[in-house]
Amino acid sequence: MARDEKLKEYWEELISRLSEQFTGGDPIDLDGIIYMIGVQELGKTDQKFEKDDKINLMHIAICRLLEPFGYYAFDYFDEDGWPHYKVLEQLPPLKAGEQSVLMKEAVVLYFLENGYLK
């Protein structure tokens, strides 16, 4: 099976499972998944977050998602338990479609590594 076809298959399965589990079947979008990953990585799943925190959670998720690709590396946890990453390599300029594919690949890899997808 071609790489793009496999990614599409994993992505559709992931959307279906997450939508059923977290949104009552309403389709979840990429931003929603990134936010969920940020909350998971922070480890405070029962907390309500302010708007600024939500942006920071998405940043945490993006850093964590792009870590296996060599763009970021975990650096430390601050005094409030928030993870911080350092930039290893700048992202190349990507068109919107290319950026979306990279993030979908990273999200699928994350859920494969965590055993949510098989």
pLDDT digit string (tens) for 4-50?
899 999 999 999 999 999 888 899 999 999 999 999 999 988 888 88
Number of domains in the chain: 1
pLDDT, tens digit, for every residue of 73-116?
999 999 999 999 999 999 999 998 899 999 999 999 999 999 99
| Mean pLDDT on 55-63 | 96
By 3-state DSSP, what share of the chain in percent is helix, strand and coil, each rounded to 5?
Answer: 60, 10, 30
Any residues with CB less than 8 A from the CB of 104 and at least 6 apart, and which?
7, 11, 30
Q: What would the two tokens of residue 64 be?
A: 């964590």
Residue 5 domain-assigned (yes or no): no
Domain of residue 96, residue span: 29-113
- Between CA 75 and CA 104 the distance in angstroms is 24
Residue 55 lies in a domain: yes
Within a domain: 106? yes
Averaged pLDDT, 64-69:
97
Q: Is residue 7 part of a domain?
A: no
73 φ, ψ (degrees, to nearest 5): -140, 140
